[in-house]
Amino acid sequence: MENNRSKSNDVGRKPDYYIVRFKKDRIDYFIDRNHLDLKSDEWVLVQAERGRDLGKVKSRITQELMDRSQRKYPLEILHRARADELEQLAQNRQKELEAIGTCREFIGFRGLDMKLVDVEFQFDGNKITFYFTADHRVDFRELVKDLASTYRTRIELRQIGVRDETRKMGGIGPCGLELCCSRWLRQFSPISTQYARDQNLAVNPSKLSGPCGRLFCCLEYEEGFYEEIRKTFPTVGEKVGLGNERFIVDRINPFKRKVVIRNIDKENIEEIDLSEFNRRFRKTDKAWLDKWLPKKSVEEEKV
Predicted local distance difference test score (pLDDT) of residue 3: 53
Q: How many CB atoms lie within 10 A of CB 294?
A: 5
3-state secondary structure 114-155: CEEEEEEECCCCCEEEEEEECCCCCCCHHHHHHHHHHHCCEE
- Look over the chain and give the mean of its residue pLDDT values, rounded to a whole number: 85
Predicted local distance difference test score (pLDDT) of residue 10: 57
Confidence of residue 37 (pLDDT cuts 50, 70, 90): very high
Closest of 285, 282, 233 to residue 260, by C-alpha: 233
Model pTM score: 0.65
Q: Are strands 75-80 and 27-32 parallel, antiparallel or unpaired?
A: parallel
What percentage of the chain reaches a pLDDT higher than 70?
Answer: 88
> How far, in Å, CA of 245 to CA of 174, rounded?
43
Do 56 and 28 contact (CB within 8 A), yes or no? no
**Which residue stretches of the chain are H helix?**
2-10, 63-68, 83-110, 141-151, 162-169, 180-183, 193-198, 218-221, 223-232, 274-281, 286-292, 298-302
238-248 average pLDDT score? 86
Q: Which domains does the chain have, with CATH numbers?
A: 12-80 (no CATH), 87-160 (3.30.300), 166-226 (no CATH), 233-287 (2.30.30)
- pLDDT tens profile 113-130: 999 999 999 999 899 999
- pLDDT tens profile 58-105: 999 998 888 887 676 778 999 999 999 999 999 999 999 999 999 999
Q: 132 - beta bridge partners? A: 116, 159
Predicted local distance difference test score (pLDDT) of residue 303: 46
Is the pLDDT confidence value at 288 over 50? no
242-248 average pLDDT score? 85
Do 182 and 163 contact (CB within 8 A), yes or no? no
